[in-house]
Amino acid sequence: MAHGSQWIVLHGRASSLVLEACPGEAPLWRYWGPRLPDAALPAVPLRDSRPTPTFTVQFDQPLSLLPGLGQGWFGEPALKAHRAGRDWTLQATHCLLEQDGQRAVVTLTDAVARIAVAVTLALDPHSDVLTISTVLTNTGDDLLDVQWLAAAVLPLPAHARRVRSFTGRHNIEFVAIEDTLTRSQWRRENRRGLTSHDCFPGAVVLADGWAYGAQLAWSGNHCQLIDWCDDGRWQWQLGEALMPGEVRLAPGESLQSPEVLATCAADANGVAQNFHAAIRARMDWPGSAMRPRPVHLNTWEGFYFDHDEAALKDLADAAARAGIERFVLDDGWFHRRNDDTTSLGDWWPDHAKYPGGLGPLAAHVIGLGMEFGLWVEPEMVNPVSELYRAHPDWALQVAGRPLITARNQLVLDMGRSDVRDYLFERLSGLLAELPIGYLKWDHNRDLTAAGERPSYRTQVLGTYDLLARLRAAFPAVEIEACAGGGGRIDAGIARFTHRFWTSDNIDAVSRVAIQRGFLQFMPPELMGSHVGAAPAHATGRIQKMSLRNHVALPGHFGVELDLRKLSDRDLARLGEGIARYKGLRRRLHTGQVWQGEGPDGLLWQAHGSAAELVLLVTRIEPQQQRHAPGLRLPMLDPARHYRIGDAVHHGAWLVQHGLDLPPLRAESGLVLELTAL
Ligand code: GLA
């Protein structure tokens, strides 16, 4: 085994990976961690460094890029498949390596089970994010039934300790949970058919002095697991969760996995910064560059289904006066949609509410200098709708099983081209007829019986296809991804969209934690963050306008309340919040983000660079100490001086001692601008 080893080495800015390639098998994972000098390779091939322990098969199978099954690897395999019970042992017998700079393609074939697997790894030197995906091809003569294909198998070092992942539900997204890694397998799986509120498809692993992050770019079912290996390391697999019978590859057919974005850095902030850079590089903005994120007005919580054209025009007038730049007409505008029991699928304006269609309202909004946006929920149908009456078979169903509704709605079969054509025709009709610059694309339920044969996967691909067609036909239109708030936040749908609706919970206190979780994986300019009403509709809690402004500030700022009902004082405060956002948005949305916890319950986040920072400090609970200790700002340059307001501080003082802050009341925040001199 000592012969013929060669190395696959990819270096990033601050990280490196090393795989050991041996002829006739999958490359072995040797290293993923802090940047190594170019010449720092293992002195000996792995197997030469580890004698065979007692009671061990006489073939040493360390962790590879594609751990097999039944051939000496006893951990979780990267692939589970069979042909009617045969060809279940999977182990590469041939390996072809191709490396072109920062990109390596490893093509593995198994001459016995007759499959081919190509793993592509690309390490972006700027973001330090490794993108991995895997394609499985059935090279045999019979159907290959696939139960699991890891999109990526990542090695974690023996000093990995804890994994931070995110759970939640509607109205409480991104609840952080931290588990200690043990010899029991750690596993998070989602079977809700969309990304889900309950299980974000990614995590951060905290090792001694180093942190790892990975996220799956996929908007459907998913699974990730961390499995202890015999040599004390861990393997981390992420991939699409497949239902029984969901993928059966005919001879010659392939299964393409979603991409995994993976990175490592000194700490969780470094992981977040790398993810932000990678997601930014993947974004497809109209005009190919992000323009300043316009201030939104969304009509949902201010009006719900109660659309009145004259009142909405008044609202638009008030919005324009307040400095709002985009007016988004939410649910309630289409044919007979007066509550959530009917009409999804009937995508034409309700003529009782809008006798002249949406044209007059849109023209009014545009005449005020704002953009016009529209809410849609294309993948859904209410049983009470013209669409369902005409095409009951278009809803996902299993014969003999009840049609389980959620919010009174069913899910359209996005795998059908006639369904997608209908939706394309309706949506493109609206986009062509009306001056719509923005779509809010919702998906308000989990999937249950997704078709006679499970078609969760085709559901996602069908939606991506429809999004891609619409983007190609209307490249200037931006799209917001929403699923009852944050039920579809992932790097897969971000390829087609430009904003996430982070949560239906706009309570500013709840939002603090939700947004901190979001920022672990996604950059702030994609984070829809609104000033809502008081009391907050989701919780009933009342918060000051200043706190609502403060919490909405770092994201893509919006307003979701009936502006006409605000007191003069609140309206003036909101105007100040909007003006402050406009003044800071460039810095908030283009630099790096750091988040931390200060002493005595203070939360802080900083956006920008070590030369120019916006610092947001938030206090939720009352201060417990009489005097607050300094807030240490580790990201600053200790060799420089910083101007904050009228004072000049030494960087080293701010890094080591910290910034002395005035006392903050409970539920309040402070925004400071730091400029290096
Ligand atoms: C979902 C969204 C809300 C709103 C409603 C409309 O719940 O998250 O923002 O658009 O649907 O029905």
Per-residue confidence at 499, pLDDT binned at 50, 70, 90? very high
> Does some domain include residue 513?
no
Tokens standing for residue 327: 């007016």
Q: Is 406 left (phi over 0), alpha (psi -120 to 50) or beta?
A: beta
> Does some domain include residue 474?
no
Q: How far apart are CA 623 and CA 509, in angstroms?
A: 16
pLDDT tens digits along 526-545:
999 999 999 999 999 999 99
Domain stops at, among 251, 282, 313: 282
**Which atom number of ligand 1 is nearest to the Cα of residue 560?**
9
pLDDT tens digits along 71-104:
999 999 999 999 999 999 999 999 999 999 999 9
CB-ligand 1 contact for 330 (6 Å cutoff): yes
Q: How many CB atoms within 10 Å of residue 640?
A: 16
**Do 346 and 388 contact (CB within 8 A), yes or no?**
no
CA distances from 164 to 154, 160, 161, 181, 387 (A): 16, 12, 10, 10, 43
Residue nearest to atom 1 of ligand 1 (CA): 484
> Does some domain include residue 27?
yes
The alpha-carbon radius of gyration of the chain (Å, integer) is: 26
Residue nearest to atom 8 of ligand 1 (CA): 484
Q: Is 657 left (phi over 0), alpha (psi -120 to 50) or beta?
A: alpha
User: What is the residue range of 58's domain?
Assistant: 6-282
Give the pLDDT confidence score for residue 79 in this predicted structure.
Answer: 98
pLDDT above 80 for 61: yes
Q: In what order do the strands lie in the sheet with 6-11?
A: 6-11, 15-21, 28-34
pLDDT above 80 for 7: yes
Count of structural domains, the chain: 2
Per-residue confidence at 629, pLDDT binned at 50, 70, 90? confident
**Do 271 and 211 contact (CB within 8 A), yes or no?**
yes
Give the pLDDT confidence score for residue 81 in this predicted structure.
Answer: 98
Task: List active site positions.
Answer: 442, 504
pLDDT tens digits along 433-447:
999 999 999 999 999
CB-ligand 1 contact for 474 (6 Å cutoff): no
Distance from residue 446's CA to the centre of ligand 1 (Å): 14
Give the pLDDT confidence score for residue 5 in this predicted structure.
Answer: 62
- Closest CA relative to residue 283, chosen from 526, 28, 460: 526
Give the pLDDT confidence score for residue 42 in this predicted structure.
Answer: 94
> Does some domain include residue 446?
no
Q: How far apart are CA 632 and CA 616, in angstroms?
A: 13
Domain stops at, among 282, 308, 324: 282
pLDDT tens digits along 171-200:
999 999 999 999 999 999 999 999 999 999
> Does some domain include residue 641?
yes
Per-residue confidence at 133, pLDDT binned at 50, 70, 90? very high
CB-ligand 1 contact for 155 (6 Å cutoff): no
Give the pLDDT confidence score for residue 1 in this predicted structure.
Answer: 32
Distance from residue 376's CA to the centre of ligand 1 (Å): 10
Q: Quote the pTM value.
A: 0.98
The DSSP secondary structure of 194-207, one letter per residue, reads: SS-SS--SEEEEEE
Q: How far apart are CA 629 and CA 429, in angstroms?
A: 60
pLDDT above 90 for 145: yes
- Closest CA relative to residue 402, chosen from 348, 344, 448: 448
- The percentage of the chain sitting over the pLDDT mark of 70, rounded to a whole number, equals 99
Q: How far apart are CA 420 and CA 131, in angstroms?
A: 30
Look at strands 436-441 and 478-481 and give their pairing.
parallel
Q: Which of 333, 442, 443, 503 to mutate to test the pocket of ligand 1 (most atoms within 8 A of CB)?
A: 442
**Do 30 and 48 contact (CB within 8 A), yes or no?**
no
3-class DSSP assignment, residue 165: strand
* DSSP at 336: T
> Does some domain include residue 56?
yes
CB-ligand 1 contact for 501 (6 Å cutoff): yes
Distance from residue 191's CA to the centre of ligand 1 (Å): 22
Q: Which of 338, 339, 504 to mutate to test the pocket of ligand 1 (most atoms within 8 A of CB)?
A: 504
Distance from residue 296's CA to the centre of ligand 1 (Å): 15
Q: How far is CA 275 from the centre of its chain?
A: 10
Residue found by looking up tokens 């979701």 in the block: 560
Distance from residue 484's CA to the centre of ligand 1 (Å): 5
Sign, CA torsion 60/63/66/68: positive
Angle formed at CA 167 by CA 161 and CA 171, multiple of 5 degrees: 150
SS (H, E, C) 111-135: CCCCEEEEEEEEECCCCCEEEEEEE
Q: Which residues pair with 235 in a beta bridge?
A: 155, 227
**Do 545 and 574 contact (CB within 8 A), yes or no?**
yes
Query: What is the identity of the amino acid at 445?
Result: R
Distance from residue 248's CA to the centre of ligand 1 (Å): 36
Query: What is the identity of the amino acid at 121?
Result: L
What's the CATH number where 605 sits?
2.60.40.1180
- Closest CA relative to residue 411, chosen from 437, 388, 433: 388
> Does some domain include residue 359?
no
Mean pLDDT of the chain, nearest integer: 97
Angle formed at CA 523 by CA 521 and CA 527, multiple of 5 degrees: 100
**Do 190 and 460 contact (CB within 8 A), yes or no?**
no
Q: Is 313 left (phi over 0), alpha (psi -120 to 50) or beta?
A: alpha
CB-ligand 1 contact for 300 (6 Å cutoff): yes
pLDDT above 60 for 3: no
CA distances from 350 to 336, 353, 435 (A): 6, 6, 18
pLDDT above 70 for 4: no
pLDDT tens digits along 339-354:
999 999 999 999 999 9
Give the pLDDT confidence score for residue 386 in this predicted structure.
Answer: 98
**Do 130 and 121 contact (CB within 8 A), yes or no?**
yes
Q: How many CB atoms within 10 Å of residue 603?
A: 17
Give the residue-averaged pLDDT of 219-226: 98
Tokens standing for residue 387: 């669409």
- Closest CA relative to residue 429, chosen from 359, 327, 348: 348
Residues making up the chain, counted from first to last: 677
Cis geometry, peptide bond prior to residue 535 (ω within 30 degrees of 0): yes
CB-ligand 1 contact for 415 (6 Å cutoff): no
What's the CATH number where 182 sits?
2.70.98.60
CB-ligand 1 contact for 570 (6 Å cutoff): no
- Closest CA relative to residue 32, chosen from 256, 311, 260: 260
Report the half-sphere exposure of 97 (CA within 13 A, side-chain side): 18
**Alpha carbon distance, N-terminus to C-terminus of the chain:** 58
Look at strands 296-298 and 326-329 and give their pairing.
parallel
Q: How far apart are CA 64 and CA 95, in angstroms?
A: 12
Domain stops at, among 260, 282, 304: 282
> Does some domain include residue 352?
no
pLDDT tens digits along 271-287:
999 999 999 999 999 99
